[in-house]
Every structure is written in C-alpha cells, then in structure tokens.
Amino acid sequence: MKKIIEHYQIQGKITIGYARVSSADNRQKLGLEVQKEALNFCDKLYIERESGGNQDRPQLQKALKLAKECAESGIETSLVVYKLDRLTRKMLHLSALIADLTSHNIRLQSLQEQIETDSLTGKFFCLMLGYVAEWELQAISDRTKDGLRKAKERGVKLGNKGISKDKERQIIRSYLKQEMPIRDMADQLHISTATIYSVLRRNNIRTNRKI
C-alpha cells in the first residue's frame, strides 16, 4: 500500500471504486458488469460478492482503509459507488460511513443518484436515499412474510420440495464410484452441494473427500 500512496501523492488525487453483488448467479453477474463498466474510470476498484446486510465486508474494509490512508497522506480522495445501496442498505450504517468519511476529508460519490457528500445538501440526499432503501428492504421483507403466512393458511407446504428418487440414486452411485468431485456433481445435476451431502447423510454414507 505504501507504493500505491507514493504513486498517488505525485498525482495529488485518487478515485477508489467499490462494486458489490449479493451472489454469483447470472442476474447478479450482469449487475456486476454494469457496475464495473460505470466505474471503469476509477484508479482502484474493489469488487465484493456479499450481502449488503453484512457490514463487515472485507473488500469494503480494504477500500475504506486505502481511502483513509491516502487522505491522511494529503491526497485528494474520492470513494465512488454505482448506487448507494451497493454500499449499504442500513440507514444507521450509511450515516456512520458518511460521518467517518467526512472526518477524513473523503468525498463519497454515487453515480446513479448523481450525488456527492462534499456539501451539506449532498450529505442530506445521501441520508434520505439511504432511508428510502432501508424502507424498501423492510417492505419487501414484510410482503414476503405476509405471502408465506397466507400460503400456509391455504395449506400450501413450504420449504424444499426435495429431489426425485432417481436423482438421489444417481447422486449415491456417482459418489460411490468417485466419478467426479461433489462440486462438479452439483453443477451437473443443477443442485447445491448441501443437497448432495444431505442425501449422503440420509443414506448413512460417510463423506471424507474434498468438494
């Protein structure tokens, strides 16, 4: 990091990008590509595959650490995200981040909302949008719970419907023959590795090899 700081001390400024998706599925991959393209002007880009509800994200912490060390070294520092909810969906967390960045003279910029925190108005809009994002998340959660409750009242069985007996026998046969690693088996059968382990445990088959 020392070399990075020395390099940008010569330039006098640095722009640090942060992109986040919640998982590695195809829709999330597309969202990540959109973020990466929008943030391609950044000097450094940190990419994360973590839930926004997790505040202690390693790549975010690295981005913040670099930003603070650059700012403390007299470098004009900006932290840029594609959208505020990529940074966090929690109002209190966003407020704490803005306060922390401001105290280190770091500008936070959101491209989608077109706001920056180098003014009181910018900080205000950031917090307002943070509140809206958290409200939307809570509304989604409430609708999901309400839908599950109504489905249960109608007698709908919830949860994992399981897999067919034929697929279960295929899992056991493939595992005992050691045809392929469990992760490859899961990809081929379009199921999770957890489902495979569940089938093996249910059939009293010991697992002692790597995924």
User: Got the DSSP string for 9-43?
Assistant: HHHSEEEEEEEEES--SHHHHHHHHHHHHHTTT-S
Contact in structure between 126 and 117 (CB atoms under 8 Å): yes
* Helical H segments across 41-89, by residue range: 58-72, 84-87
Is residue 164 helix, strand or coil? coil
Residue 165 CA to residue 184 CA, distance in Å, equals 20
Contact in structure between 43 and 105 (CB atoms under 8 Å): no
Q: Is 22 a catalytic residue?
A: yes
Residue 24 CA to residue 192 CA, distance in Å, equals 13
AA identity, residue 210: K
Bridge-based pairing state of the strands 115-116 and 106-110: antiparallel
Residue 175 CA to residue 185 CA, distance in Å, equals 9
Active site residues: 22
